[in-house]
Amino acid sequence: MTRAQDILLTDLYQLTMLQGYYQQGMDDIAAFEFFVRKLPPGRNFFVAAGLAQVLEYLQGLHFEPQELDWLRQSGRFDEDFIDHLSQWRFLGDVEAMAEGTLFFPDEPILRVVAPIDQAQLVESRVINILHFQSLIASKAVRCVLAAPDKLLVDFGMRRAHGGEAALWAARACYLAGFAGSSTVQAGVLYGVPVFGTMAHSFVQAHEVEQQAFAHFALAQRDNAVLLIDTYDTERGAQRVVELAAELKQQGITIKAVRLDSGDLAEHARRVRRILDSGGLSEVKIFSSGNLDEYALHDLLAQGAPIDGFGIGTRLDTSADAPYLDCAYKIQEYAGTPRRKRSEGKATWPGRKQVYRRFDNGVMGGDLITTLSATDSGEALLQPAMRAGQIVTPQPNLEQSRQRLYTQLDSLPPALRGLKAVAYPVEVSESLHLLARQLDSEVH
Amino acid sequence: MTRAQDILLTDLYQLTMLQGYYQQGMDDIAAFEFFVRKLPPGRNFFVAAGLAQVLEYLQGLHFEPQELDWLRQSGRFDEDFIDHLSQWRFLGDVEAMAEGTLFFPDEPILRVVAPIDQAQLVESRVINILHFQSLIASKAVRCVLAAPDKLLVDFGMRRAHGGEAALWAARACYLAGFAGSSTVQAGVLYGVPVFGTMAHSFVQAHEVEQQAFAHFALAQRDNAVLLIDTYDTERGAQRVVELAAELKQQGITIKAVRLDSGDLAEHARRVRRILDSGGLSEVKIFSSGNLDEYALHDLLAQGAPIDGFGIGTRLDTSADAPYLDCAYKIQEYAGTPRRKRSEGKATWPGRKQVYRRFDNGVMGGDLITTLSATDSGEALLQPAMRAGQIVTPQPNLEQSRQRLYTQLDSLPPALRGLKAVAYPVEVSESLHLLARQLDSEVH
């Protein structure tokens, strides 16, 4: 992987456009906003995530000499322009919704205000960061809502799309209310609690399953979660019962068993009976394998006696909606609002604010409006960066997680389910008027 | 992002299992194999990709002191074991299919043979690397087959899942036959040719569209691709015609126009007519926006006069199949073949080879067999690492790309389309026999 601030982790056209701006002396202030155009099928809202990484990326962003060399050698850029880039810094302002904020289509969750070359160049990576973390947080929170009293752990590292996706998915899941992740490095980097069980290979490396269980319990005396489906799930459970007495004499208590295949609800019921009748009612049942919010909902609706879930691939790839239709669009340049009018992709022009109204503590509706207008309710976009410096204090991950908890408490109950229910988002009259004005102009 | 060799970019259970192996003195040789269980709907084959990054990861892999400190402070590991880890190195052997090789379900594309703690610890990251790159190469090659004579460029960085995904997607697309990528850093790191056009924001930052076109053409005198759909596609094309004469006097030729919204086929036809009647028959039409192999196929079936395509989100997220059902499983330990028998997830035991038969230069069928057996045909798994050192020379990206070209030449014509057609993959009698033997044993 490369360093977080890799400034060449961008689309080539950002640099060719910058050369155009430079040659024309275009250095007025531009405002770009990031928003999502529409909800994926079955979804009710999004969760804002990734702002911390965006700010970390922007602060101090600059070109290293070897990066300038590469650009020079590409033959696409003038020496004058390369010299100009050597002095380039990101010194703009950022307004954003705090991480953990619920948001809806067309609502800007981040605005960059800076000389146009600064606001332009960062587009690709800003989208890359905000899109993915918001995508995963928005999926993970559905798992939390589907199984609110269960231990949920992100297991998705191996099939996440590369290492950064794995790390950010772990972070986004924790932000969304998961207990933690199996990804160790997410613990190191973000303080996400890490969880682990055992793999089939550990069982298979032993001649006899029971011996594998005993060895693992010895190595994890306080924390043994035994995987019992390698050969036969119920026989595995029976072996745990037989082993438990023996281990107890050594002061070791088995914490849980894990099921990873077959009909999880049915196996869980049978395993629960085996454990209970063997005196192991304290041993938890943990489950994994092709899970997502729908599978959690179904398992719990069936009354499956499962205490915790490891949720991996379908979560870390957001398999039912692997991308959001999002954009980072110029809304103002040199003091004049701008509007893209491409078919099916028109934008709301100008700098905007989003106000959220609450009725008796419950979210009652949002208003997207021009920045000059004011409204009652909570103004969701707040300063995050000023002249290239992060506004402090920024919330840490625990605080962002807490913010989401609080937000979920005020979410209308109908929006907590897995089916799509509309939430009222209004576009202000002032914004409609501005759009009509711009549409009547000739470009 | 973190360094490529981040050894803690792994699942916690790898480390807890390692402690178990260590405490029991289990250090015999294990063989793990990576394979994909089944094809996504509509697919015919996979393309192997990512081996170069796997080898780079494995060679010299070790724990840094601060990583050991973190493990120590986690309170989950004995001091003895931490000491042991400080000496840990990856010194195993790897056999693999070369990048660019076509492969099918159940065929191992990589085998790690090493003391069990070495082969085990690397599981999570090896899957993370091979899965994603093979996923994207397998999708990208379908675009190449759908539009074999067109210029295809990866445009997906912004909605790829994090930075590493963007870089690896660019690499995998190029491997699969794309002309290149818009991601600059993929050029820096992997030598992938980089391509770029212009964004709507460049047009919008100008008061008048035509001025934006002129300024961009001046900044990219040999390479101007003008985006014409910001306000009205056909009017944009007309403006290009008007501008072209003016630019010609300055020695600037417009290379292409880009369409990014609406009915691309219809717009392309109209724009082609406008350009041709304006004397710009040399100006190419490049198109982007929600493209994938199906959209390419439809556009070309409609005879849309489009010369090149920028393919982004649906490709870099492999949107119709955002993950492969893949695994890295222990197949042998201490000289004895092992077999997982979990419901729906049973594996073929032992070390294996895949032989490919050709009939008159056309792939005729594959045979998966035990390593001790031999067969005619091409043996697809070849040495890639010996005792922790990469076997040299390894093919470079251009050579892997060439290998895939050659493979595609030998692909049965029926498998080149977008609909699923079966390819004969046989599991040898010796392997069936071994599986039955293991199933009869008690674990």
Q: How far apart, in Å, do the first and last CA atoms of chain B sit?
A: 43
Domain of B103? 12-136+321-439
Neighbouring CB atoms inside 10 A of A244's CB total: 20
Residue B213 falls within a domain, yes or no?
Answer: yes
Q: What is the helix (H) or strand (E) element at residue B328, kind and residue range?
A: strand B326-333
Q: Are A10 and A121 in contact (CB under 8 A)?
A: yes
What would the pLDDT profile of A167-202 be if each residue is shown by its tens digit?
A: 999 999 999 999 999 999 999 999 999 999 899 999
Residue B294 falls within a domain, yes or no?
Answer: no
Average pLDDT, chain B: 95
Are B120 and A201 an interchain contact pair (Cβ–Cβ within 8 Å)?
Answer: yes
Q: Which of A265, A287, A316 represents a domain boundary (last residue)?
A: A316
Using CB atoms, pick whichever of A20, A232, A322 lies closest to residue B322.
A322
Specify the number of domains making up chain A: 2
What percent of chain B is predicted at pLDDT more than 90? 93
The arithmetic mean of pLDDT across residues B361-390, rounded, is 95
Q: Residue A3 has what pLDDT? A: 52
Q: Are A312 and A159 in contact (CB under 8 A)?
A: yes
Q: Which of A281, A298, A316 represents a domain boundary (last residue)?
A: A316
Are A128 and B6 an interchain contact pair (Cβ–Cβ within 8 Å)?
Answer: no
Comparing alpha-carbon positions, the chain A residue that sits nearest to B207 is A443
The single-letter code of the amino acid at A196 is: G
Q: Are A381 and A111 in contact (CB under 8 A)?
A: yes
Chain A residues close to B124, C-beta within 8 Å: 157-158
ipTM entry: 0.97
Please give the Cα distance from A399 to A213 (Å, whole number): 39
Kindly state whether residues B165 and B212 are assigned to the same domain.
no
Q: Residue B2 has what pLDDT? A: 42
Residue B443: pLDDT over 80? no
Provide the shortest C-alpha distance from residue A420 to chain B (in Å): 21
Q: Residue A223 has what pLDDT? A: 84
Q: Residue B343 has what pLDDT? A: 79
Kindly state whether residues B121 and B270 are assigned to the same domain.
no
Lookup result for tokens 């050594």: A250
Please give the Cα distance from A377 to A348 (Å, whole number): 21
Using CB atoms, pick whichever of A70, A216, A261 lies closest to residue B343.
A261
Kindly state whether residues A182 and A308 are assigned to the same domain.
yes
Comparing alpha-carbon positions, the chain B residue that sits nearest to A204 is B338
Kindly state whether residues A84 and A127 are assigned to the same domain.
yes
The arithmetic mean of pLDDT across residues B145-168, rounded, is 98
What would the pLDDT profile of A360-381 be if each residue is shown by its tens digit?
A: 999 999 999 999 888 889 999 9
Q: Are A299 and A265 in contact (CB under 8 A)?
A: yes
What would the pLDDT profile of A24-54 be if each residue is shown by its tens digit?
A: 999 999 999 999 999 999 999 999 999 999 9
Residue B1 falls within a domain, yes or no?
Answer: no
The arithmetic mean of pLDDT across residues B41-45, rounded, is 96
Kindly state whether residues B184 and B205 are assigned to the same domain.
no
Q: Where does A220-283 have alpha helices with state H?
A: 233-249, 264-277
Chain A residues close to B216, C-beta within 8 Å: 16-17, 20
Residue A3 falls within a domain, yes or no?
Answer: no
Residues 6 or more apart in contact with residue B380 via CB below 8 angstroms: B97, B101, B103, B107, B109, B353, B354, B355, B356, B366
Q: How far apart, in Å, do the first and last CA atoms of chain A sit?
A: 43
Chain B residues close to A32, C-beta within 8 Å: 201
Kindly state whether residues B113 and B27 are assigned to the same domain.
yes
Are B23 and A127 an interchain contact pair (Cβ–Cβ within 8 Å)?
Answer: no
Q: Are A385 and A94 in contact (CB under 8 A)?
A: yes
CATH, residue A311: 3.20.20.70
Residue B87: pLDDT over 90? yes
What percent of chain A is predicted at pLDDT more than 90? 93
Are B344 and A262 an interchain contact pair (Cβ–Cβ within 8 Å)?
Answer: yes
> Which of A436, A304, A425 lies closest to A368 in space, CA to CA?
A425
Kindly state whether residues B183 and B315 are assigned to the same domain.
yes
Residue B301 falls within a domain, yes or no?
Answer: no
Kindly state whether residues B154 and B230 are assigned to the same domain.
no
- DSSP code for B158: G
Using CB atoms, pick whichever of B129, B188, B324 lies closest to residue A70.
B188
Q: Which of A35-44, B296-305, B335-344 has the lowest mean pLDDT?
A: B335-344
pTM (2 decimals)?
0.97
Using CB atoms, pick whichever of A13, A161, A201 lies closest to residue B162.
A161
Residue A382 falls within a domain, yes or no?
Answer: yes
Neighbouring CB atoms inside 10 A of A437's CB total: 12
Q: Which of A280, A295, A316 represents a domain boundary (last residue)?
A: A316
Are A166 and B128 an interchain contact pair (Cβ–Cβ within 8 Å)?
Answer: yes
Q: What is the helix (H) or strand (E) element at residue B364, kind and residue range?
A: strand B362-370
Are B16 and A216 an interchain contact pair (Cβ–Cβ within 8 Å)?
Answer: yes
Chain B residues close to A220, C-beta within 8 Å: 16, 19-20, 76
Please give the Cα distance from A179 to A170 (Å, whole number): 10
Six-digit token string for A217? 């319990």
Q: Are A85 and A72 in contact (CB under 8 A)?
A: no
Q: Residue A338 has what pLDDT? A: 92
Kindly state whether residues A353 and A239 are assigned to the same domain.
no
Kindly state whether residues B46 and B28 are assigned to the same domain.
yes
Residue B141 falls within a domain, yes or no?
Answer: no
What is the per-residue DSSP string for A81-101?
Answer: HHHHHHT-----EEEEPPTT-
Kindly state whether residues B125 and B25 are assigned to the same domain.
yes
Comparing alpha-carbon positions, the chain A residue that sits nearest to B261 is A343
SS3 letters for A168-190?
Answer: HHHHHHHHCCCCEECEHHHHHHH
Q: Are B63 and B78 in contact (CB under 8 A)?
A: no
- DSSP code for A194: B
What is the per-residue DSSP string for B275-313?
Answer: HHHTT-TTSEEEEESS--HHHHHHHHHTT----EEEE-H
Please give the Cα distance from A433 to A373 (Å, whole number): 13
What's the gap between Cα B228 and its chain centre?
32
Please give the Cα distance from B265 to B306 (Å, whole number): 8
Residue B441: pLDDT over 90? no
The arithmetic mean of pLDDT across residues B79-97, rounded, is 98
Six-digit token string for B238? 């007309």
Are A261 and B344 an interchain contact pair (Cβ–Cβ within 8 Å)?
Answer: yes
What would the pLDDT profile of B389-431 be if each residue is shown by its tens digit?
A: 999 999 999 999 999 999 999 999 999 999 999 999 999 999 9
Residue B236 falls within a domain, yes or no?
Answer: yes
Using CB atoms, pick whichever of B20, B215, B342 lies closest to residue A219.
B20
Provide the shortest C-alpha distance from residue B281 to chain A (in Å): 24
Kindly state whether residues B156 and B16 are assigned to the same domain.
no
Output the tens digit of pLDDT for each of chain A's 443 residues.
445 579 999 999 999 999 999 999 999 999 999 999 999 999 999 999 999 999 999 999 999 999 999 999 999 999 999 999 999 999 999 999 999 999 999 999 999 999 999 999 999 999 999 999 999 999 999 999 999 999 999 999 999 999 999 999 999 999 999 999 999 999 999 999 999 989 999 999 999 999 999 999 999 988 899 999 999 999 999 999 999 999 999 999 999 999 999 999 999 999 999 999 999 999 999 999 999 999 999 999 999 999 999 999 999 999 999 999 999 999 999 999 998 888 787 889 999 999 999 999 999 999 999 998 888 899 999 999 999 999 999 999 999 999 999 999 999 999 999 999 999 999 999 999 999 999 888 67
CATH, residue B53: 3.20.140.10
Please give the Cα distance from A427 to A284 (Å, whole number): 49
Provide the shortest C-alpha distance from residue B350 to chain A (in Å): 12
Q: What is the helix (H) or strand (E) element at residue A219, kind and residue range?
A: helix A209-219
